[in-house]
Structures are given as structure tokens and as C-alpha cells.
Amino acid sequence: MTRQCRNFSSFDLLMECTFSNINLFQLFKTLTEGASSDLSREPVAQLVLPREEELVIDLSNPGLICDEEPVIRNFESSCAGKMHDMETPTTNHCQAASRPISFFDPQRSALNENITIRSISETLSLSQLCDKFELFTKFLKSNSDQKLKLQKLPKKNRLNYPKYTDQVFAIALFQAKETAAQKLTPKNKTVPFKAFAAISGWMFIPRTDESLAYSCLDLDSKYHGSLVVDSEEYKEFLEMFDHVDIHKLPKTCDSFGSVPEVGLDYIQGRDKGNLTDLSAELRYVNLRLGK
């Protein structure tokens, strides 16, 4: 090279790099790594796109790589084989919950009293899982356009029309395991299948009239959406996930709650009546700006 590097045009420099076996890849990696979203138009960026984190099925049976149908364990979720139904806690439970509560720790949780526990199947064959995955894919397709779902409903009859409070907000829970079992995963199984198989439960948050603040971790990888309780879709959903746990948050709770295993913290307001009155009083006519 006879010229000073800094006087090169960028293209000249790139060509120099190419022909002098400079680590050009490293350069572009430096330039583009981690920039998957805003470089989507650039083929260069595609070279170094970070791979989507694969969720790994905990497969204990090496038979999976053969043609046999292996038994897939229920991913050993923190409370495998149990259904936590906390839909109707008593008032006392709510009043007692003045500190973070773990639904999964009976020692700490006042809300855990009188929980109904239902045993569910702990094992599921691969073919059964594949069938369920197919159903889930169909479910997502039909669920992708809520407009269609609404049109099917008897719009004129308000009494039959599902209300906001008829719904639950469902969040998928994962139990991703980074084990050597990843190698046993069939090559033809796609990332969506693995993600589906790693669903270890669902959290149902009832829609209520009360104010609620919550924070939830990892919603970028967890499916979440609405279900109208007692609808056909809801029954279909429950059948589809009868092999995993369903956790339900209480409809009413006056304080802070936490589900650490799920990464969910929530706070519900107390004085529903007062809130209603206040909301009515402080309509936008009474807006107090900047306060």
C-alpha cells in the first residue's frame, strides 16, 4: 500500500482488505452485530444476525432419534402435575397479602390456602405433542384476526356479546432447559415446534373492572393473548393444553403480588367504588393539566 489509509475511499479500503486477506468479516461483525432490526434491509447484516434462542425440550429418552415414540416428560415445571386455581380467594386472603406473594410457595403465600389441586397427565408421546402442535398452529391462524371472530358474534344482541370482563388474558410459561438433550431433538423439528413443546403452563389473568398494574418478563418469547371464557375457543384451548399447568390469578386482590417463577408482579387497586366515583367525577372536562 502506497497511500495513507485515511486517505483511501471506503470502497478502496474494502477492496484492499479483501485482497490482502484482512479479517473483513470481523469488521462487519463489529459494525453490525446486535443490529438485527435496523439492518434488516442489508444482506450484510444477515450474515451476523444472532440466532433465535432455541428453547430446548427436556428429552430424557434417547429413543427420539430412532423411529420409536419417546415419552416426553412434562418439562419438570416448578409445580408439574398440579393446577392452581386461585380464582376466588376470600377477603381475608386479600387483606393478609401485604408483602410479595409467591403462589408456588405455601409457606409464604396467604393466597395459597384452599387451593384446589388437580392432577394432570405427566407424560405425553411425541405423536400426541405433534398433534397438539398442529392444533395450536391452526388456533393461532384463526386467532390472528380478531375482526373475524367478532363478526361471527351476534353483534345486535348486546346481552350475548362477550364483555371485557368475560375474558382472561393468557400468558404462556416456559421451562427452557439448556441440557445436552438439545442434541436429541429431531432435525426436522422446527423452532416453533420446540417453542411449543417447551410451554410448561399458562397464566390466566382475569379481566376485571378494577385497576391493575403488572410487570411481566420475556413477553418477546411468550405467547400472550385474550380468551373469552366459556367460549368454544376457550374449551378448545383448554383441551389443547390439558398436558400443562394452568395458573389463575385471583379476580380481586388488594395488594402487591408476585409470581417469581413466571416473572410476573402485579398490583391491584383496592377501593373499586371510590375509583369509579373518582373516574366519573374527573372526566376530561375536569382535566387538571400538569398536575
Partner 1 sequence: MIVANDQISSHISIFVIITSELFPYFAPFMDVTVSRERHIPCVSGGYSNTNPNEYANNRVNIVGSYRPFLLKTLESLDISVKQRIARLIAGTIKLMHENGDRTDIPNSYGNGEADKERCKLNLEFWISLGMEVDDPLFQFFDAEGFSFISEYFVCFHKDTQNDSKKDGDETISLKSRVLITEELSRISKVGKLMRRYCLKVGDYLPISLMIYSRKCVSAFCVRHSKVQSVFSGSPFVKHASRKLTCAILDALHDTESVQNYSKLWDNDDSFLEMLHSMKSDVNSHQCSTKFASKLPSFSKDVSNWYTKSDHRLCRRS
From the list 248, 224, 207, 206, the residue with the least C-alpha distance to 118 is: 248
Cα 12 to Cα 15, 63, 207, 216, distances in angstroms: 5, 56, 61, 49
Q: Is 229 in the site for partner 1 (CB under 8 A)?
A: no
Q: Is 117 in the site for partner 1 (CB under 8 A)?
A: no
Q: Is 48 in the site for partner 1 (CB under 8 A)?
A: no
Using the contact rule CB under 8 A, the part of the chain among 54-62, 73-81, 123-131, 140-148 near partner 1 is: 140-148
Q: Is 238 in the site for partner 1 (CB under 8 A)?
A: no
Q: Which is nearer to partner 1, 187 or 291 (CB)?
A: 291
- Sign of torsion over alpha carbons 211, 214, 219, 223: negative
Q: Is 231 in the site for partner 1 (CB under 8 A)?
A: no
C-alpha cell belonging to residue 73: 416428560
Q: 282-287: which pairs have CB atoms within 8 A and are 24 or more residues apart? A: none
Q: Which of residues 14-33 bind partner 1 (CB under 8 A)?
A: 14, 16-17, 22-23, 26-28, 30-33
Q: Which of residues 192-221 bind partner 1 (CB under 8 A)?
A: 207, 209, 211-221
Q: Which is nearer to partner 1, 118 or 163 (CB)?
A: 163
Nearest approach, Cβ of 17 to partner 1 (angstroms)?
7
C-alpha cell belonging to residue 241: 393444553
Q: Which of residues 147-176 bind partner 1 (CB under 8 A)?
A: 147, 149-150, 155, 158, 161, 164, 167, 169-170
From the list 192, 57, 62, 74, the residue with the least C-alpha distance to 124 is: 74
Q: Is 234 in the site for partner 1 (CB under 8 A)?
A: no
Q: Is 280 in the site for partner 1 (CB under 8 A)?
A: yes
Asked whether 200 and 83 are in contact (CB, 8 A), the reply is no
Q: Which is nearer to partner 1, 64 or 101 (CB)?
A: 101
Nearest approach, Cβ of 61 to partner 1 (angstroms)?
30
Bridge partners (DSSP) listed for residue 168: 206, 227
Q: Is 285 in the site for partner 1 (CB under 8 A)?
A: yes
Nearest approach, Cβ of 139 to partner 1 (angstroms)?
8
Q: Is 91 in the site for partner 1 (CB under 8 A)?
A: no
**DSSP 3-state assignment of 154?**
coil
Pairing of strands 123-125, 71-73: antiparallel
Cα 272 to chain centroid, rounded:
29
Nearest approach, Cβ of 170 to partner 1 (angstroms)?
8
**DSSP 3-state assignment of 224?**
strand
Q: Which is nearer to partner 1, 184 or 203 (CB)?
A: 203
Residue 238 and residue 71: Cα distance in Å, rounded? Answer: 22
The residue from 225, 231, 240, 252 that contacts partner 1 (CB under 8 A) is 225
Q: Is 125 in the site for partner 1 (CB under 8 A)?
A: no
Nearest approach, Cβ of 153 to partner 1 (angstroms)?
9
The CA-CA-CA angle for residues 243, 198, 38, to 5°, reads 140
- How many CA within 13 A on the CB side of residue 49? 14
